[in-house]
């Protein structure tokens, strides 16, 4: 639901193989994403301007989002889609956004002191809990209350480089939305390397090379850049080909290491 794992997850070849092996794949999304294209069923969802309901951000602000226009065709708000699916399985629950907010207040104590009138009033912010700013007031669950950061010791990468993936300010996530903008089109990233690495590898600017990792390989054009240090390569994450070479190694938090993939670059 609102998720494009075929493009956003690392080790794309493995992800695609697993998704295609499912007995049933249902996608709820406003757009026909790459994941939706291989789904058994696609349930069209309304965009944020086509539905109403409460929105909570990580900065602990909660506001009401008002509907501006009706969704096109058969598209429906997420809560209506989930309600109809539940009813198909013999269950029922409220799908009215206001009732959902009141229910959320009952199960989440941090919301309990907020009212619908407050979050619908845009003359002031509605912050939970208790409209208080609690930045730096709470401590971590350690003896001294301070955070513990775990650093994995990095070994020397011989005959290879470290690939990091980053964002482009003009693109958004898997480019489903920004790629539809007239004049933008599907995003294609080069692989950025330093002039020192380009000299050692005897690679010219704009030359096409093979990028190889432990989980896959893909061809990209080279862009020589003074902003990339020696031994490091960089690509923008919005290109659907990038995660063919970004492997699904996880750190201690369970997050993929999008910022650390050992690769080799070979001339074609």
Q: What is the pLDDT along the chain (268 residues), one digit of tens a residue?
A: 999 999 999 999 999 999 999 999 999 999 999 999 999 999 999 999 999 999 888 777 889 999 999 999 999 999 999 999 999 999 988 778 999 899 888 888 777 888 899 889 888 777 766 666 666 777 888 999 999 887 777 777 877 999 999 999 999 999 999 999 998 888 899 999 999 999 999 999 999 999 999 999 999 999 999 999 999 999 999 999 999 999 998 887 888 889 999 999 999 9
Q: How many residues does the chain have?
A: 268
Give me the DSSP letters along 124-182: S--BTTTT---TTTS--SSTTS------PPPPP-TT-EEEEEE--TT--TTSTTGGGST
Q: Which CATH class is domain 5-120?
A: alpha beta
Architecture of domain 161-267: Beta Barrel (2.40)
Closest residue by Cα to residue 55 from 85, 100, 93: 100
* Two domains, one topology: 5-120 and 161-267: no
Structure tokens given for 38: 């291989």
Q: Environment class of residue 12 by beta-carbon count within 10 Å: exposed (0-12), middle (13-18) or buried (19+)? A: buried
261: β partners? 163
Domain boundaries, the chain: 5-120, 161-267
Between CA 197 and CA 267 the distance in angstroms is 13
Structure tokens given for 19: 């998704």
Between CA 104 and CA 38 the distance in angstroms is 34
Number of Cβ within 10 Å of residue 76's Cβ equals 20
Residue with tokens 């008002």: 66
């Amino acid at each position: 639901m609102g998720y494009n794992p075929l493009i956003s997850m690392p080790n794309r070849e493995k992800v695609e193989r697993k998704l295609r092996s499912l007995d049933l794949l249902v996608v709820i999304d406003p757009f026909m994403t790459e994941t939706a294209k291989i789904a058994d069923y696609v349930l069209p969802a309304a965009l944020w301007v086509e539905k109403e309901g409460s929105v909570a951000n990580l900065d602990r602000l909660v506001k009401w989002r008002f509907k501006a226009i009706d969704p096109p065709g058969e598209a429906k708000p997420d809560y209506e889609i989930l309600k109809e699916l539940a009813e198909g399985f013999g269950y029922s629950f409220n799908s009215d956004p206001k009732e959902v907010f009141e229910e959320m207040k009952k199960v989440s104590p941090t919301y309990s002191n907020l009212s619908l009138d407050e979050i619908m009033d845009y003359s002031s912010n509605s912050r939970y809990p208790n409209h208080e700013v609690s930045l730096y007031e709470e401590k971590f669950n350690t003896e001294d209350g301070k955070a513990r950061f775990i650093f994995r010791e990095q070994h020397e990468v011989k005959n290879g480089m470290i690939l990091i993936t980053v964002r482009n300010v003009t693109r958004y996530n898997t480019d489903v939305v920004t790629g539809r903008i007239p004049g933008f089109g599907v995003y294609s990233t080069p692989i950025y390397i330093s002039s020192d690495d380009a000299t050692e590898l005897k690679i010219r600017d704009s030359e096409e090379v093979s990028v190889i990792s432990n989980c896959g390989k893909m061809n990209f054009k080279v862009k020589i850049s003074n902003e990339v240090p020696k031994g490091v390569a960089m690509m923008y994450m919005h290109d659907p080909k990038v995660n063919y070479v970004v492997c699904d190694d996880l750190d201690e938090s369970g997050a993929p290491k999008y910022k650390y993939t050992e690769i080799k670059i070979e001339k074609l």
